[in-house]
Structure 1
Amino acid sequence: MDGFTIGHLPDQIDDRTSVSDFEYEWGDVSFSSRVWERTVEGGGARVVLQVLVMRGTGLTDLAAVRDFLAEYHERAPDWELTEFDNNGRTALHGETEAFWTPAEGVAVEVRDAFGLVGQEELLATARGVGAENPG
């Protein structure tokens, strides 16, 4: 997906889960998004998991990505995030998201917006995202 592979998916992603890819722009950043969702009783669907690859000149480092995502997700200035190691890169995670900057101008985010997969699987999925052609 836009130069990245997704090497781990939570058990909640199964044959009842559909997957869709989207591309869009917001705030001078281009997004490639893969979304897994499940149909809910009574109609409609609920997003189970999202992986987003973002590209933009303003995504210079992890602090800039945090600021961008705080605005994008409409988070309060005191948005609580915790650092974690993502395969040798410093990354940040909250209750429902994990993100990092694999290169200047590029950010990756894994989102569990409804808390359906849990933090352990969110972080395992984040650690399973890697560049298609490393080095």
Structure 2
Amino acid sequence: MLDGFHIRQVPGDIGTEVSDFASEWDDVRFATRVWERQTDDGHQVDLRVHVLRGERLTDLAALRDFLTEYHERDPGDWPLIDFAHGGSAGLRDDSQAFWLAEPGVAVNVLVDPAQVDRGQLLATALAVVAVGAQGGTSRSPR
């Protein structure tokens, strides 16, 4: 569970050190879970899941604009592909997927593309569901 969402699966080859954080940036609150591994150079983050909450997250375009600023992306040079997350439209590239769960609430899943492939990114994103959504039992994240 992370701020009202079940994370029902994660890629199998990611780090097993798991940490949760809470933060805020530009009037949007973040609940974040990070999976990382220890390396010779320190730590490598393999997977991050953010649950974002803020009034400015009104639709997918507003979410994209917010994440463009937050991740310091060039809006003209960020090729995103549409995907469906349940009844919500989402956007993804090779390292992240995001969607608006409802106005004011969004999810952003980010992976290290050297560690996790595009198919695993999408499978992980689709496995993040709001509590009570799509039934079934949740599996504990690693």
TM-score interval (norm. to shorter): over 0.9
Aligned to 1:74: 72
C-alpha contact (below 8 Å) 1:58/1:105 kept by paired residues: yes
SS at match of 1:39: strand
**1:40 paired to 2:39:** yes
1:3 is aligned to 2:1: no
* Range with bigger deviation, 81-90 or 122-131: 81-90
SS in 1 for 2:65: helix
Retained in 2: the 8 A contact 1:99–1:107?
A: yes
Partner of 1:30: 29
SS in 2 for 1:83: strand
Deviation at 1:113, TM superposition (A): 3.9
Q: Which runs of 4+ in 1 moved over 3 A?
A: none
Report the equivalent of 1:88. 87
TM-score, normalised to structure 2, is 0.88
User: How far off is 1:134 after superposition?
Assistant: 3.4
Give the superposition deviation at 1:114: 4.8
The one-letter code matched in structure 2 to 1:64 is: A
Deviation string, structure 1 residues 47-102 (Cα, Å, up to 9, x no partner): 00000000000000000000000000000021110101112321100111000001
RMSD between superposed Cα atoms in Å: 1.4
Deviations 1:12-55 (A, max 9, x none): 13xx52000000000100000000000002x4100000000000
Secondary structure of 1:74 counterpart? coil
How do residues 100-115 of structure 1 correspond to structure 2 at under 5 angstroms?
100-115=99-114
What 5-or-longer segments of structure 1 have no aligned partner? none
- Normalised to the residue count of structure 1, the TM-score between the two structures is 0.92
Identity of aligned residues (%): 49
Corresponding residue of 1:60: 58
2:52 partner amino acid = M
Q: How many residues align?
A: 132
Q: Which residue of 2 aligns with 1:17?
A: 16
Q: Is the 8 A contact 2:94 2:113 kept in 1?
A: no
Query: How far 1:115 moved relative to its partner?
Result: 3.5
